[in-house]
Structure 1
Amino acid sequence: MQHFRYGLALSLLSVAAHAASMPNPDADNGGLTLPSGFRGLIVADDLMAGRGTGNAGDALRFLAVTPEGAVYAKTSRGGILALRDADGDGRFEQKQEFGSGGGTGIAVHDGWLYHSTDSAVYRYKLEPGQLVPTGEPQLIVSGLPNEFSHTSKAFAFDSQGRLLVETGSPHNVYSDGDRQLGAKGKDPTEYLKTHGGFWRFDPEKQNQKQSDGFHFSTGHRHSLAIAWQPVAKEFFMVMMGRDGLNTVAPDYYDTLDNAERVAEEMHRLKEGVNLGWPFTYWDPYKKARMINPEFGGDGRKRAEVGKYDEPLIAFPAHWAPLQMQFYTGTQFPERYRGGAFVAFHGSWNRAPLPQDGFNVCFVPFDAKGAPLGSYEVFAANAGPQRFRMGGVAVGPDGSLYISETDRGRIWRIMYVGEQAGTAAPAATVAAGAVKPAPASANAGGRQLYEQLCASCHMPDGSGAGAQQPPLAGSKVVSGNPEQLIAVVLHGPAEVLPPDRPKYGNVMPSFAVLGNQQVADLLSYVREVFGNRGTPVTPANVEAIRQQR
């Protein structure tokens, strides 16, 4: 007992000494709720101020930290932000931007800073004490597919230093009429030779093409959260699930099915694995791999047992996993060591349920490097604001850095001990609920809107941030009806000016709808959401249809 008390006293003294050496946290943890014993402070803020919003604007993406504690933050449209705390107060007063090309992925590996644009991977040589590299970047891989969505290129290194790079699919599901009513799946055999998987490259070899890489895995939709587990000596990743079940097949799926029945899937990423896209999705309630409606699914048909890997963990639908990092430090308590932190960007299409998933989750792993099969929310929004998490990285002292994409905030999360009176302040996580679709005498138009449009533009027409435009108060909606009809029949990319504000998701054509359906739908959206446009008639729709 005496030895136990002595050991406990030493442990508490160690925690106290460690806490004393840390910078003072923010009183409100920088707007986050954290587990007891953890505190947070904002080390950089407003990094995206003045850089625009929406698909044409900029956003903060993934993070990397050097052994000396410098932080590198990737921006989606610009360069790399180099950040350093030079005066020791815990906040980054030094900030320099270098490079260009935008993108998402970034990592420090073997004395080099690797980063990815949407079509290539580069690296800069890092010199000790030097914040911004002075040499020119080396081109490692170029010519990777870069199409209209899911263009971000995530990458990671294995224990042999080999480079694994993902090429996602620009499609929701590979089909004729992607995301559209009645869409039919296409044979993806040739397509999957260059999309929807990971490719392995030599990180020391310059000027490689995709064809020079080894095709490591297939059957992915899009997978940005990937990291190497050093004990298991395996890659783990989280794949983003599909959207629009009810839009494609409303006879079999409703809005709640779309909101809840497609998991974000954590897998052990083994060489040669096939994860089932575009044929299947994982239903977290049935705990089964289901056939997509584009390939004949009806909400009941299941994939052949054993044909595709089952997820190790099924995260809730539409949370949008971004960067993942295994905890390799010793600052946090023992249970966190070897586990995975996953940054979730948050949903935009869980209507009519509240939007959710704006957090960083922790996945505990056992001593052999295997996940225990559970997860917990580690860092979440406190109060009504909605921070969209993007990156996670472990610092040399074991602190966890988290980035927020839209505003450009970076937090440092520290463990200061259970006895320090540091429990996170009580707060309610923002629900993010939206109002239901407005009532109208145009019942057919409202029904079509709820079926086809509400999952993207929200039931109340408020849109989804940088992902989908609002319809409430929209000049396009309440303006020229001929232009609006053409947008629905042909898609906005073919109709609206090229310099229009752009968003993360691309609206497809809905030419499959009949003239009366288009008229009802557009008359409804021109009546509600504060719009005051005149009704649209089937004859108006037919006239625009006949112009092509």
Structure 2
Amino acid sequence: MLQRLLSTRHCLTMGLLTGIVLSLFTSCQQGESLPPADPDNGGLFLPDGFGAVVVVDSIGRARHLTVNDNGDIYVKLRVPNKAGQGVVGLRDTDKDGKADQVETFGDYTDTGNYGTGMEIYNGYLYFSTAGEVYRTELDPDNLVPDAEVELIMRDDYKNAVHGYEHIAKPLAFDQEGNMYVPFGSPGDVCQEFNRKPGAPGMDPCPELEWHGGIWRFDANKLNQTQQEDGYRYATGIRSVVAMDWNKAENSLYVVQHGRDNLHRTWPDMFSRWESAILPSEELFKVEDGTDGGWPYFYYDHMREKKLLNPEYGGDKELATGAEDVTWPLIGFPGHFAPNDLYFYQGDQFPERYKNGAFVAFHGSTIRGPYPQGGYFVGFVPFENGKPSGPWEVFADGFAQLDTIVNTGDAAARPMGISMGPDGSLYITESVQGKIWRIMYTGGKEDFGEEALAKLEHRKNTRTNIKNPDEEADNLEKGLLETGAQTYNIYCATCHQANGKGDGTRFPPLSETEWVTRNNRRLIGLVLNGLEEQIEVNGVKYNGIMPAHSFLSDAEIAGVLTYIRKNFGNNSSSISATEVAKVRNELQ
């Protein structure tokens, strides 16, 4: 203790004597305030000079987070606890980097079990569910606010005609009292029959009236609805979970989730390799009137082209009309699942990171038969409001695996990003609910080309980050049975190669009555698909199951038999004759 006091006194004295009190004192104080990093950085790979401490572990499936000016952390859980509470407050009272006060709270209605948004704005904690945006006033003296929870906006998403797939509601606020909320597309690419292979898209797309864009609301007005109170700020943006207001540019930025399954819907046009890495996830600067081009166009980051979707006459070359829509600032590889975006405004990190964009890539579910991609936090350097170089790796190792075959294999999936008052970066993950605090403890002048070279090597060698080799990285080699091959082409992209689902949208196939009982219902499910919420093993799922009636009776019999005899199941076979009978009955 004496040594620390003397060190602080020394810092102050030297600052006064040399006339540079502010800079020197800040440097010393910052060094004093940072806790020691964990010996293994919480399992993360980080750039040289950075360290990480695990703030808390296993608080539940964490989504977005925010950090108050006093260092208190607030996290939104995807699924509330049994008491209906889905907000977690964390406080580190002894300043060792670990949360020693953990409180779950929240008196509100959650209609969709898809909590996402979490922001502090003008002294209020704002958070979202699948269908609502709430706020409650914070008290800096108390971790858990005792103020009333107020309903700011409600989305009647359950009444969407074709279901509603993309229901996440991240939040962003400008400096003039406005709140921005995305309303994702109800389907994949605006087809009359969602996700039907080869089906054309609707033109004009009727979904764009109330979905596939960003709406602006009054941040202080209660009980708003999209239809009556929202202003459509931007359109043509399929699905957004990563969104931030860039204070340096005074502008909104988002990263769009690209469409799914190009090979499954257009197998004669796109190979499975192309489907694994396309289309790009697009980073947009969003201004009033921005049109990102969905559902008519997709972006190919390898060719740096905006191209027509095949549902609208595209052939991988046509770009008719692309000059009239907004192009991305940068395109990331497909299915990385960008789930948070944060522009760094702190002073703790090296100057390279100032005003740049951190992106949490939650990780793919539909990259099979290639390794799943994402599962890391990337960084895009910015200058004058635009990327000043290619995207980089910042934090990796969340999955604790070299090759991720199934989404469920990953130990952690990075989800939310926020910054503390001292410039530390906080990251959540959505599997168990761990939070890391990332700090820079090196000399800022020491961060340079050597550190960047290590990051580039990571980008080009890790199977969850690099572009997969079309032949060498194909994980399906050796599968010979018809049922297994059919499963991996049409089912594993969602339910995963191990049948355990992705834990979010697509249910597991193991030890569930949906698979092991009622053959007719199971066959009918494959033939007709499903567009409603279902419960599997006590968990509700909102993902759309497309119809697979285009498969032959033998292919359906084979894949269902494969499912019923794998993934921990041991049920009887299903014959092609049985499938044909059900098909005829349904017709």
Alignment of 1:183-332 (within 5 A): 183-211=199-227, 212-332=229-349
Aligned-pair CA distance for 1:21: 3.0
Q: 1:45-70: per-residue Cα shift (whole Å, max 9, x none)?
A: 1101xxxxxxxxxx211011111111
The question of whether the paired residues in 2 share the 8 Å contact of 1:18 and 1:416 is answered with: no
Distance of 2:422 and 2:307 partners within structure 1: 44
Q: Which runs of 5+ in 1 are unaligned?
A: 1-5, 49-58
Look up the SS of the partner of 2:522 in the other structure. Answer: helix
TM-score w.r.t. length of structure 1:
0.87
Distance of 1:120 and 1:502 partners within structure 2: 18
- 2:490 is matched with which residue? 452
Of the three residues 121, 129, 136, the one matched with 2:133 is 121
Aligned-pair CA distance for 1:502: 4.3
Instruction: Confirm or deny that 1:92 pairs with 2:99.
Output: yes
User: After alignment, is 129-138 or 489-498 more displaced?
Assistant: 489-498
The question of whether the paired residues in 1 share the 8 Å contact of 2:139 and 2:145 is answered with: yes
Look up the SS of the partner of 1:247 in the other structure. Answer: helix
Q: 1:170-223: per-residue Cα shift (whole Å, max 9, x none)?
A: 211111332232232123543211111111111122222112121100011111
- Describe the shift of the 1:67–1:293 C-alpha distance in structure 2 as closer, same or farther (beyond 3 A): same
- Describe the shift of the 1:530–1:437 C-alpha distance in structure 2 as closer, same or farther (beyond 3 A): farther
- 2:394 is matched with which residue? 378
- 1:56 is matched with which residue? none
Distance of 1:331 and 1:95 partners within structure 2: 26
RCO higher in structure (CA 8 A, sep ≥6):
1
Q: Which runs of 5+ in 2 are unaligned?
A: 1-17, 81-85, 402-409, 466-472
- 1:439 is matched with which residue? 479
Of the three residues 391, 412, 418, the one matched with 1:393 is 418
Distance of 2:34 and 2:527 partners within structure 1: 59
Look up the SS of the partner of 1:204 in the other structure. Answer: coil
Distance of 1:496 and 1:90 partners within structure 2: 41
The number of equivalent residue pairs is 529
User: After alignment, is 179-188 or 463-472 more displaced?
Assistant: 463-472
Distance of 1:139 and 1:512 partners within structure 2: 45
Instruction: Confirm or deny that 1:167 pairs with 2:183.
Output: yes
Aligned-pair CA distance for 1:299: 2.6
- Describe the shift of the 1:41–1:487 C-alpha distance in structure 2 as closer, same or farther (beyond 3 A): same
Aligned-pair CA distance for 1:494: 7.6
Aligned-pair CA distance for 1:279: 1.4
Of the three residues 43, 66, 71, the one matched with 1:31 is 43
- 1:135 is matched with which residue? 147
User: After alignment, is 318-327 or 457-466 more displaced?
Assistant: 457-466
The letter of the residue matching 2:523 is I
- Describe the shift of the 1:461–1:297 C-alpha distance in structure 2 as closer, same or farther (beyond 3 A): farther
Of the three residues 424, 431, 443, the one matched with 1:406 is 431
- Describe the shift of the 1:500–1:65 C-alpha distance in structure 2 as closer, same or farther (beyond 3 A): closer
The question of whether the paired residues in 1 share the 8 Å contact of 2:532 and 2:544 is answered with: no
The question of whether the paired residues in 1 share the 8 Å contact of 2:128 and 2:170 is answered with: yes
Look up the SS of the partner of 2:436 in the other structure. Answer: strand
Look up the SS of the partner of 1:231 in the other structure. Answer: coil
The question of whether the paired residues in 2 share the 8 Å contact of 1:386 and 1:430 is answered with: no
Distance of 2:331 and 2:368 partners within structure 1: 20
Distance of 2:55 and 2:368 partners within structure 1: 34
Q: 1:119-150: per-residue Cα shift (whole Å, max 9, x none)?
A: 22221112232211111122222235355421
The letter of the residue matching 1:60 is A
Look up the SS of the partner of 2:42 in the other structure. Answer: coil
Distance of 1:280 and 1:270 partners within structure 2: 19
Distance of 1:446 and 1:458 partners within structure 2: 12
Look up the SS of the partner of 1:256 in the other structure. Answer: helix
The letter of the residue matching 2:138 is L
- 1:522 is matched with which residue? 560
- Describe the shift of the 1:71–1:14 C-alpha distance in structure 2 as closer, same or farther (beyond 3 A): closer
The letter of the residue matching 1:97 is T
- 1:180 is matched with which residue? 196
The letter of the residue matching 1:362 is F
The letter of the residue matching 2:92 is D
Counting helix residues as a fraction of each chain, which structure ranks higher? Answer: 2
Q: 1:475-507: per-residue Cα shift (whole Å, max 9, x none)?
A: 655655434312211335689877664446332
The question of whether the paired residues in 2 share the 8 Å contact of 1:236 and 1:269 is answered with: yes
The letter of the residue matching 1:404 is E
Q: 1:247-288: per-residue Cα shift (whole Å, max 9, x none)?
A: 111111121111012111001101101111111211112221
TM-score w.r.t. length of structure 2:
0.82
- Describe the shift of the 1:353–1:497 C-alpha distance in structure 2 as closer, same or farther (beyond 3 A): closer
Distance of 1:110 and 1:172 partners within structure 2: 36
The letter of the residue matching 2:103 is Q
- Describe the shift of the 1:337–1:191 C-alpha distance in structure 2 as closer, same or farther (beyond 3 A): same
Distance of 1:190 and 1:496 partners within structure 2: 26
Instruction: Confirm or deny that 1:511 pairs with 2:549.
Output: yes
Of the three residues 67, 70, 73, the one matched with 1:71 is 73
Aligned-pair CA distance for 1:162: 1.3
Aligned-pair CA distance for 1:19: 2.9
- 2:524 is matched with which residue? 486
The question of whether the paired residues in 1 share the 8 Å contact of 2:411 and 2:431 is answered with: no
CA RMSD in angstroms, aligned pairs only: 3.3
Of the three residues 53, 70, 73, the one matched with 1:41 is 53
Look up the SS of the partner of 2:214 in the other structure. Answer: strand
Distance of 2:142 and 2:232 partners within structure 1: 36
Look up the SS of the partner of 1:176 in the other structure. Answer: coil
Percent identity, aligned pairs only?
40
Look up the SS of the partner of 1:192 in the other structure. Answer: helix
Distance of 2:88 and 2:551 partners within structure 1: 47
The question of whether the paired residues in 2 share the 8 Å contact of 1:16 and 1:417 is answered with: no
Distance of 1:73 and 1:533 partners within structure 2: 42
- Describe the shift of the 1:416–1:108 C-alpha distance in structure 2 as closer, same or farther (beyond 3 A): same
The letter of the residue matching 1:308 is V
Instruction: Confirm or deny that 1:145 pairs with 2:157.
Output: yes
